[in-house]
């Protein structure tokens, strides 16, 4: 998560293995150039009008991942939440450097758009991630061709997201329901439910570890455990952290989708999400004698 006063470049340097981008094959680096141009062109629109204007421009539909990140910006999520979402998606691509690179490129670009950074600075930073030799050999050419966007079936980097996931779906709504229980009935009540009635030993463990008074220690433990954890453990860690930090429920919904690797459908009415949370909350509370 990026802190309020962190510069985006410092955050990405300290959070992501940027060497994975630098060591990509040259062909993949050229494929990423189109996404750098896409970010810059979208930023031009935001500078001329506002971020919402990107969602009504043709750029909004050029790429699935870019569409997702711009939708998060337009939803007025905080920089902290969006950076967490980017991190959670990136964790899914331990075995694909090119997918990881695309997430980092578009994610950092989206955050720079949100921060109001100028387009030339965005291009320069993102190109620099591709390595010094690539930068020296292609910098001038990229700026000369910055208006030319050429994403085709042959050169696109098409990340496949999950649209519907039965493995995590019920569990996700359980976690959102537990967050709602804390919101409605307080910290003591949600601890009682988790430790006495919900019966998930891994959730018990992670909630116990993170639910400490020293918030810096809690955040340190979260990041240390997330680094090499399997997906289910990352899911329960993130859910525990959201509950403990009183993360807004819709923000938690986006974060858990990112851990799963699920594409968030922004067209789905929020009241449908709320209804399912209420149903799960009722079922969980019914466990209490």
pLDDT digits (tens, 9 = 90+) for 101-127: 999 999 999 999 999 999 999 999 999
Helix (H), strand (E) at residue 40: helix 26-48
- Reported as a pLDDT band with limits 50, 70 and 90, residue 15 is very high
- Measured distance CA(65)–CA(68) in Å, rounded: 5
- Reported as a pLDDT band with limits 50, 70 and 90, residue 96 is very high
> Considering Cα of 254, then 257, then 263, then 266, what sign does the dihedral take?
negative
Cβ atoms < 10 Å from Cβ of 52: 13
- Measured distance CA(56)–CA(206) in Å, rounded: 42
Closest CA to 259 of 178, 177, 162, 157: 162
Q: First vs last Cα of the chain: how many Å apart?
A: 39
Cβ atoms < 10 Å from Cβ of 22: 17
Q: Classify 248 as helix, strand or coil.
A: coil
Cβ atoms < 10 Å from Cβ of 232: 14
Is the predicted pLDDT of residue 8 greater than 90, yes or no? no
What is the pTM for the complete model shown? 0.92
Task: HSE, CB side, 13 Å, CA atoms: give it for residue 248.
Answer: 9
CA distances from 9 to 92, 180, 277 (A): 22, 35, 37
- Measured distance CA(232)–CA(217) in Å, rounded: 22
pLDDT, mean of residues 129-157: 89
| Domain residue spans of the chain | 8-144, 166-285
Instruction: Copy the structure tokens of residue 99.
Output: 């997918």
Length of the chain: 289
- pLDDT-wise least confident of 53-67, 75-89, 135-149, 219-233: 135-149
Query: What percent of the chain clears pLDDT 90, i.e. is strictly above it?
Result: 81
pLDDT, mean of residues 22-34: 95
CA distances from 35 to 6, 150, 196, 265 (A): 24, 9, 49, 22
Q: What are the backbone dihedrals phi and psi of residue 153, each rounded to the nearest 5 degrees, phi first?
A: -60, -30
CA distances from 84 to 138, 255, 285 (A): 32, 7, 30
Q: Tell me, what's the pLDDT at 3?
A: 65
CA distances from 211 to 107, 243, 256, 262 (A): 29, 9, 19, 27
Q: Which parts of 91-156 fold into alpha helices (H)?
A: 97-115, 119-128, 132-144
Closest CA to 257 of 77, 10, 60, 132: 77
Confirm if 144 and 33 have CB atoms less than 8 A apart. Answer: no
């Amino acid at each position: 998560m990026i802190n309020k006063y962190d510069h985006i470049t410092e955050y990405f340097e300290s959070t992501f293995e940027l060497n994975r981008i630098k060591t990509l094959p040259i062909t993949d680096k050229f494929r990423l150039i189109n996404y750098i141009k896409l970010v810059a062109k979208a930023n031009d629109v935001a500078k001329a009008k506002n971020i919402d204007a990107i969602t009504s421009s043709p750029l909004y539909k050029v790429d699935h991942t870019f569409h997702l990140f711009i939708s998060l910006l337009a939803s007025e999520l905080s920089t902290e939440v969006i950076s967490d979402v980017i991190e959670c998606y990136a964790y899914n691509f331990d075995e694909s450097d090119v997918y990881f690179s695309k997430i980092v490129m578009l994610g950092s670009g989206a955050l720079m758009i949100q921060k109001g950074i100028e387009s030339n600075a965005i291009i320069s930073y993102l190109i620099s991630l591709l390595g010094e030799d690539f930068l020296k050999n292609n910098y001038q050419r990229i700026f000369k061709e910055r208006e030319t966007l050429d994403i085709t079936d042959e050169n696109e980097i098409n990340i496949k997201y999950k649209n519907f996931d039965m493995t995590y779906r019920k569990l996700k709504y359980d976690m959102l329901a537990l967050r709602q229980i804390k919101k409605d009935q307080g910290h003591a009540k949600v601890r009682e439910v988790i430790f006495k009635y919900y019966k998930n030993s891994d959730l018990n463990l992670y909630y116990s570890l993170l639910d400490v008074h020293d918030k810096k220690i809690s955040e340190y433990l979260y990041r240390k455990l997330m680094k090499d954890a399997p997906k289910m453990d990352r899911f329960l860690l993130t859910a525990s952290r959201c509950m403990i930090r009183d993360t807004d429920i819709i923000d938690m919904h986006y974060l858990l989708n990112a851990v799963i690797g699920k594409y968030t459908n922004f067209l789905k009415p929020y009241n449908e999400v709320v209804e399912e949370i209420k149903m799960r909350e009722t079922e969980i509370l019914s466990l209490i004698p």
